[in-house]
Amino acid sequence: MHIADGVLSVPVWTGCLAVTAAITGVSLRKMKAEDTPRIALMTSAFFIASLIHIPMGPTSVHLILNGLVGIILGPLAFVAILVGLILQAVLFKHGGITTIGANTVMMGLPAVGAYYLFRLHRLFKFRVSAGIFGALAGGVAVFLGAVILALLLVTTGSEFIVVAKLAVWAHLPVMVIEGLIAAFVVTFLKQVKPEMLGA
C-alpha cells in the first residue's frame, strides 16, 4: 500500500505533496493547541496496531486501519495519518520521502471519507448498525485507497496499468479483513467506551 521513492512522475508526487500541505494546514488551524498530545497518543496506538499481522492462508497481511483512524479521529485523521507515515518512512523505510504526500493522500482522504460514511449509522436505530457501518467504513477506506494508488500509478505512465490493476485486486482480501476488524473494534468500543465514537 505504500509507494516508495522513484516511481511516480514529478507532477504526480509534487501535486500530492501540495494537496497534503493544504489539507494539513487547514486541519492544524482547526486543531486546538491543547489537543495535540491527545491526537498524537491515538496516532501512536494506530501506528502500533497497524503492525499486527493477520494470517491469510499461507501468508499474512498487515493491517492498514485507515478507516478506523477516520472513525475515531474524524477529519483530523488526515494529519494523524501524515504523522504515522512520516514515522513509518523514517523508522521502517516503508514508503518514501518524496512520496509522503502521495501516500498521505492515498490513505488520508479515504479515512476522512470513512468518518462521514460511519456517521450515517446514527440514522438507523437497530442494535448492530454501528458494527455494520464500521465494516462498511473500514472496507471502503481500503478500497478507495487502492483505487487512488491505481490512479496515481496510471497518471504517471501507461506502463503501470497492469501493476495498478494488480494492486487493486490484491487489496480485495485486505478490504474484507479490514472491514471485519473495523466491525469488531467498533462493536467493542460501542460497549466499552461509546464516547470514542462520538456518541
Partner 1 sequence: MHLPEIDKYAHLDSPLHSWDPRVKIVSLFCLILSMVLASNLLVAGLGLMLAVALVFLSRIPFGFVFLHLRWVMLFVLLFFIIMPLTVSGEEIARFHFLSISRRGLELASLIGLRAFSAVLLVFPMIGTMKFSSTTAALQRLKLPNKLVQMIIFTYRYIFVALDEMGRMFMAARARGFRSGTNLHTLKTVGNLIGMLFVRSYERTEHIHRAMVSRGYDGTLRVLDEFALAKKDFLKAALVVALALGLYFAGWTL
Note whether 26 binds partner 1 by CB under 8 A: no
Note whether 24 binds partner 1 by CB under 8 A: yes
Q: Quick one: 5 or 120, whose CB is closer to partner 1?
A: 5
Note whether 72 binds partner 1 by CB under 8 A: yes
Alpha carbons within 13 angstroms on the beta-carbon side of residue 44 total 5
Note whether 22 binds partner 1 by CB under 8 A: no
- CB of 73 closer than 8 Å to CB of 47: no
The only residue of 18, 124, 172, 193 in contact with partner 1, by rule CB under 8 A? 193
The only residue of 74, 75, 94, 119 in contact with partner 1, by rule CB under 8 A? 94
Note whether 184 binds partner 1 by CB under 8 A: yes
- CB of 99 closer than 8 Å to CB of 86: no
- The stretch among 31-39, 105-113, 117-125, 141-149 that binds partner 1 (CB under 8 A) is 31-39
Question: At its nearest, how many Å lie between partner 1 and the CB of residue 75?
Answer: 15
Question: At its nearest, how many Å lie between partner 1 and the CB of residue 196?
Answer: 6
Burial (CB count within 10 angstroms: exposed 0-12, middle 13-18, buried 19+), residue 87: middle
Residues near partner 1 (CB under 8 A) are: 2, 4-7, 10, 24-25, 28, 31-34, 36-45, 47-49, 51-52, 54-57, 65, 68, 72, 79-80, 82-84, 86-87, 89-98, 159, 161-163, 166, 177, 180-185, 187-189, 192-193, 196
